[in-house]
Amino acid sequence: MSESNAQLKDRVRDFWQNHPCGTKFADAQPGSRRFYELVEQHRYEKEWHIPEAAGFSKTKNLRVLEVGWHDETEAIVPKAGTLLARDGGVEVTTPYDDCVLIMPTRRPKKGETAVRLGRCVN
C-alpha cells in the first residue's frame, strides 16, 4: 500500500518540525542564544559544503538574514541589532536579544502586518 503525496508531505513536514537541521548537536536550552551559537558552529565546521551549495558567495555584497524558524509562524533572532529589513532608507532591526518574530499570516497583503517583534517573558 503506497502513501499519498499529501500524506508523505505531512510526515516529512512533521519530522522536520520536530527535528530541525543541526539541533541534535546543540546541548543548550532550545531557543537560547547558546543553542543557536552551537547549531551555527556545527553547521559551518562540520557541514562545510553548505556555503557553496547554498550559493552564499553570490550574496557577498548583500546583507542577508538567516532565521531558524521555531514553527511555521514564529522565529527567534538571537542578537539585538540584527537587520531584518529596509523600509525605504530606514533599517528595521531587532530591538533586543532573543527577539521573537511573529508572522500573523504567511502571505501578507499590502497594508497588513507582515511581522511583529516580541520578547519572551517568564
> What are the tens digits of pLDDT across the range 78-111?
789 988 888 788 888 889 888 888 776 666 777 7
Q: Which of 38, 92, 39 is nearest to 63 (CA)?
A: 92
Average pLDDT over the chain, rounded to whole?
A: 77
Q: Which of 17-21, 48-52, 68-72 has the highest mean pLDDT?
A: 48-52
Domain locations in the chain?
1-62, 63-122
> For the whole prediction, is pTM greater than 0.75?
no
Instruction: Examine the pLDDT at 77 and tell me if it is beyond 60.
Output: yes
Instruction: Examine the pLDDT at 72 and tell me if it is beyond 50.
Output: no
pLDDT of residue 36: 76
Cβ burial 40-57 (10 Å sphere, 16+ → b, else e): eebbeeeeeeeeeeeeee
